[in-house]
Amino acid sequence: MGIGRSTFYDMPDARARDLTIVAEMKTICDEFEAYGYRRVDAELRHRGIVVNAKKIRRLMREQALNPKQRRRFVATTDSDHNYPIFPNLAKNMKLDGPNQLWVADITYVTIATGRSATVFTGSELLTFRT
Protein backbone atom coordinates (compact mmCIF):
# COMPACT_ATOMS: atom_id res chain seq x y z
CA MET A 1 0.00 0.00 0.00
CA GLY A 2 2.93 2.30 0.47
CA ILE A 3 1.98 3.56 3.94
CA GLY A 4 3.46 2.73 7.28
CA ARG A 5 1.83 0.28 9.66
CA SER A 6 1.35 2.94 12.36
CA THR A 7 -0.53 5.15 9.90
CA PHE A 8 -2.93 2.32 9.13
CA TYR A 9 -3.72 1.77 12.80
CA ASP A 10 -3.79 5.45 13.71
CA MET A 11 -6.97 6.37 15.58
CA PRO A 12 -8.94 9.39 14.46
CA ASP A 13 -8.70 12.43 16.70
CA ALA A 14 -11.17 11.88 19.54
CA ARG A 15 -10.93 15.51 20.67
CA ALA A 16 -12.60 16.77 17.51
CA ARG A 17 -15.56 14.45 18.14
CA ASP A 18 -15.60 15.46 21.81
CA LEU A 19 -15.81 19.12 20.84
CA THR A 20 -18.89 18.52 18.72
CA ILE A 21 -20.49 16.49 21.53
CA VAL A 22 -19.68 19.21 24.08
CA ALA A 23 -21.11 21.90 21.81
CA GLU A 24 -24.33 19.92 21.45
CA MET A 25 -24.43 19.25 25.20
CA LYS A 26 -24.03 22.98 25.92
CA THR A 27 -27.00 23.80 23.71
CA ILE A 28 -29.06 21.13 25.48
CA CYS A 29 -28.02 22.38 28.94
CA ASP A 30 -28.79 25.99 27.97
CA GLU A 31 -32.23 24.99 26.76
CA PHE A 32 -33.03 22.63 29.65
CA GLU A 33 -31.23 23.86 32.79
CA ALA A 34 -32.31 21.01 35.08
CA TYR A 35 -31.20 18.15 32.79
CA GLY A 36 -28.69 15.74 34.29
CA TYR A 37 -26.55 13.29 32.37
CA ARG A 38 -29.41 10.80 31.82
CA ARG A 39 -31.70 13.34 30.18
CA VAL A 40 -28.79 14.85 28.23
CA ASP A 41 -28.00 11.32 27.00
CA ALA A 42 -31.61 10.81 25.93
CA GLU A 43 -31.69 14.17 24.17
CA LEU A 44 -28.41 13.45 22.38
CA ARG A 45 -29.81 10.10 21.21
CA HIS A 46 -32.96 11.90 20.07
CA ARG A 47 -30.75 14.24 18.03
CA GLY A 48 -28.89 11.28 16.50
CA ILE A 49 -25.69 11.32 18.56
CA VAL A 50 -25.02 8.06 20.39
CA VAL A 51 -22.54 8.46 23.26
CA ASN A 52 -21.74 6.33 26.29
CA ALA A 53 -23.31 7.65 29.52
CA LYS A 54 -19.93 7.56 31.30
CA LYS A 55 -18.46 9.81 28.65
CA ILE A 56 -21.39 12.21 29.01
CA ARG A 57 -20.85 12.33 32.78
CA ARG A 58 -17.13 12.96 32.32
CA LEU A 59 -17.63 15.71 29.73
CA MET A 60 -20.36 17.38 31.81
CA ARG A 61 -18.06 17.34 34.85
CA GLU A 62 -15.08 18.70 32.87
CA GLN A 63 -17.15 21.45 31.25
CA ALA A 64 -19.02 22.31 34.50
CA LEU A 65 -22.41 21.64 32.93
CA ASN A 66 -24.04 20.94 36.27
CA PRO A 67 -27.82 20.77 36.28
CA LYS A 68 -29.74 23.42 38.18
CA GLN A 69 -31.03 21.80 41.35
CA ARG A 70 -34.77 21.92 41.90
CA ARG A 71 -35.82 23.46 45.18
CA ARG A 72 -37.67 20.88 47.21
CA PHE A 73 -38.57 23.19 50.08
CA VAL A 74 -39.45 26.84 49.95
CA ALA A 75 -39.12 28.73 53.20
CA THR A 76 -42.17 30.93 53.65
CA THR A 77 -41.46 32.26 57.12
CA ASP A 78 -39.29 35.35 57.40
CA SER A 79 -38.15 35.51 61.02
CA ASP A 80 -35.48 38.13 60.33
CA HIS A 81 -37.61 41.26 60.60
CA ASN A 82 -37.92 44.33 62.82
CA TYR A 83 -41.52 43.74 63.81
CA PRO A 84 -42.48 42.52 67.29
CA ILE A 85 -42.45 38.78 67.89
CA PHE A 86 -45.30 37.82 70.15
CA PRO A 87 -44.84 35.21 72.87
CA ASN A 88 -46.46 31.79 72.72
CA LEU A 89 -49.28 32.19 75.23
CA ALA A 90 -50.44 28.60 74.87
CA LYS A 91 -47.09 27.08 75.76
CA ASN A 92 -47.84 26.36 79.42
CA MET A 93 -51.61 25.95 79.19
CA LYS A 94 -53.17 22.80 80.59
CA LEU A 95 -56.20 21.94 78.50
CA ASP A 96 -58.83 19.95 80.34
CA GLY A 97 -61.90 20.53 78.23
CA PRO A 98 -63.26 21.84 74.94
CA ASN A 99 -63.43 25.48 73.87
CA GLN A 100 -60.35 26.59 75.81
CA LEU A 101 -57.82 27.17 73.03
CA TRP A 102 -58.42 28.22 69.46
CA VAL A 103 -55.72 28.56 66.81
CA ALA A 104 -55.81 30.32 63.46
CA ASP A 105 -53.68 30.52 60.35
CA ILE A 106 -53.57 32.82 57.36
CA THR A 107 -52.43 31.28 54.09
CA TYR A 108 -51.87 33.01 50.76
CA VAL A 109 -52.75 30.81 47.78
CA THR A 110 -51.90 31.70 44.20
CA ILE A 111 -54.78 30.85 41.88
CA ALA A 112 -54.74 30.19 38.13
CA THR A 113 -55.29 33.83 37.19
CA GLY A 114 -52.02 34.78 38.87
CA ARG A 115 -53.72 36.61 41.70
CA SER A 116 -53.30 35.76 45.36
CA ALA A 117 -56.23 34.67 47.51
CA THR A 118 -56.17 34.81 51.30
CA VAL A 119 -57.48 31.78 53.14
CA PHE A 120 -58.21 32.07 56.85
CA THR A 121 -58.58 28.88 58.80
CA GLY A 122 -59.47 28.60 62.42
CA SER A 123 -59.97 25.53 64.56
CA GLU A 124 -60.29 24.46 68.13
CA LEU A 125 -57.22 22.82 69.54
CA LEU A 126 -57.84 20.23 72.20
CA THR A 127 -55.18 17.80 73.27
CA PHE A 128 -55.22 15.68 76.35
CA ARG A 129 -51.95 15.24 78.13
CA THR A 130 -51.67 12.60 80.82
Convert the pLDDT of each residue in 81-110 to its tens digit. 888 888 888 888 887 877 788 877 777 777
Distance CA 85, CA 16 (A): 63
Look up residue 73 and give its amino acid.
F
Q: What is the DSSP letter of 82?
A: S
Q: Which of 16-20, 64-68, 102-106, 119-123 is the most confident on average?
A: 64-68
pLDDT tens digits along 7-16: 777 777 777 7
Whether the CA torsion 49, 54, 60, 62 is positive or negative: it is: negative
Could you tell me if 13 and 20 are in contact, meaning their C-beta atoms sit under 8 angstroms apart?
Answer: no
Tell me the three state secondary structure of residue 117: strand
Distance CA 22, CA 32 (A): 15
